[in-house]
Amino acid sequence: MEEVEKRQRDRVGPWSWPWYLIIAASLIVALLSIQTLVYRSEARFQTTALESSTASHIARECRSGPGYARCRREIEQAAREEQRSRQNLSSQLITALWTWVMGAVAVFGVALSAIGIYLIWQTFRETRLLTTETARATGVMDRQNQWTENSQRPWIKVDCEVEKAEIVGPSFVIRCKITATNIGKSVAENCGARGRIIDGVASGVVGKKVEELRQEARKASLGEAGEGLSPYPLIPGESVDFYAQTQQFFAVSARSGDVTRRIILTLFVAVRYCLPGETIMRETDRTFFLCYGATEDDRNDPFSDYGIPTPVPRDLSTETVFLASGGSNRTT
C-alpha cells in the first residue's frame, strides 16, 4: 500500500503538463484568429485604396466626350479584376492558414488520444497494482488472524505407550495405553476418540479399517456412537486415557532373534473435536507400528524392521516391544 501511495504522489507533478498543452493550444488558436482578422482587414483596406485609385485614374485618364464611357468602363473593369485578384489572394492565405491549423489540430487530437489511451492503461495498471497490494495485505491479515486463532484454539496431542506385552499360552497379548491431551488454550468441545490395533499387511485392508475408525470417531464426536460413548469436553491441560489391545496366536520361538517373518501390527488413533462455538470438526490422527527390539540399539535404530517376528521370541515384553511412527497422520 505504501508503494502505491508513493507512486501516486510522484505522478502529481508530471501529470500537470496536459494543462500546459491545453493553454498552449488555446494561445495558438487565438493567434491564428488574430492573423485571420489581419488578412481580412488588409483585404478591405486594399479594396478601399483600389476604389480611391480607380476614381483618380478615371479622372486623370478619361476626358469628356464620346470616349468617356468606354474609358471609364475599361478602368473600372481592370479595377474589379485587381480587386478580385486581391480578395482571392486573401482568401487563399486564410484558407491555407486554417488548413494548416486543422492539420495541426488533427495531429494534436491524435496526440491527445494517445495520451488518453496511455492514461487509461496507467489507470488499469495502477488499479491492478492496487488490487494486488490489497490482496496481499488481506492475505497478511488473514494469516495474522489465523495465527492468532491457532495460538488460542485447542490442540489435541496423542501419546501412546506399550502397557502390556506378554506371551499367554500359544499366543501373545499386546495392550497400548493412549493418552489424548488438550495442549491448547481453550476448551475442545465434543471430543470423540477411537483407537485400535490393526492386524494386516495389505494396504487396502489397513486403509479400510483406518477409514472405519475415522468414521467411528466422528460418530462419537456427534454423539451417535451409542449409550455410554457420549462426547466430552477437554479443558486446557486435561487428558483422557483409553486403550487398544490385540491377541495373536502364533508359535513361540525358544530364543530371541530367530526370525522367519514378521507380524505387522498397526496402532491407529483418531480423535475428533470442535472449537468453542463452531460446528466444524477438527481432526487428530496418529499411526504407530508395533515393533520388536531385543537390545536398546535395535529399539533406537531408525532402520529396524517393523512388526513382531515369528516365531515370537520368548523375551517379548514391554521392554522389547516399542512403537514406531507410521503414516496416515492428520492434524486440522
Reduced 3-state DSSP string for 238-265: CEEEEEEEEEEECCECCCCCCCCEEECE
Is the pLDDT at 255 greater than 50? The verdict is no
Asked whether residue 199 falls in the same domain as residue 273, the answer is yes
Residue 160 lies in a domain: no
Asked whether residue 28 falls in the same domain as residue 132, the answer is yes
What pLDDT score was predicted for residue 94?
73
Whether 270 and 194 have beta carbons less than 8 Å apart is answered as yes
Is the pLDDT at 26 greater than 80? The verdict is no
Other CB atoms closer than 10 Å to residue 244's CB: what's the count?
19
What is the C-alpha to C-alpha distance for residues 264 and 135, in angstroms, rounded to an integer?
Answer: 50
What pLDDT score was predicted for residue 282?
93
Is the pLDDT at 118 greater than 80? The verdict is yes
pTM for the predicted model, two decimal places: 0.60
The residue segments making up the domain with residue 263 are: 166-331
End residue of a domain, out of 102, 120, 151: 151
Assigned C-alpha cell, 271: 480423535
Residue 280 lies in a domain: yes
pLDDT level of residue 58 (50, 70, 90 thresholds): low
Other CB atoms closer than 10 Å to residue 187's CB: what's the count?
18
Q: What does the mean pLDDT of the chain come to?
A: 80
Question: Residue 209 is which amino acid?
Answer: K
What pLDDT score was predicted for residue 258?
47
297: left (phi over 0), alpha (psi -120 to 50) or beta: alpha
H or E element, residue 73: helix 68-152
Residue 209 per-residue DSSP state: H
Burial of 176 (0-12, 13-18, 19+ CB in 10 A): buried
End residue of a domain, out of 151, 179, 213: 151
- For 15-36, give the secondary structure using H, E and C: HHHHHHHHHHHHHHHHHHHHHH
As for how many domains the chain has, the answer is 2
pLDDT tens for 120-167 read: 888 888 888 888 888 888 888 888 888 888 888 999 999 999 999 998
Asked whether residue 262 falls in the same domain as residue 325, the answer is yes
The answer to whether the bond into 302 is cis (omega within 30° of 0) is no
Assigned C-alpha cell, 259: 526370525
What is the C-alpha to C-alpha distance for residues 218 and 193, in angstroms, rounded to an integer?
Answer: 8
Residue 9 lies in a domain: yes
* Residue-wise DSSP of 150-166: HHHS--EEEEEEEEEEE
Asked whether residue 213 falls in the same domain as residue 325, the answer is yes
Is the pLDDT at 256 greater than 60? The verdict is no
Residue 254: phi and psi, rounded to 5, are -75, -20
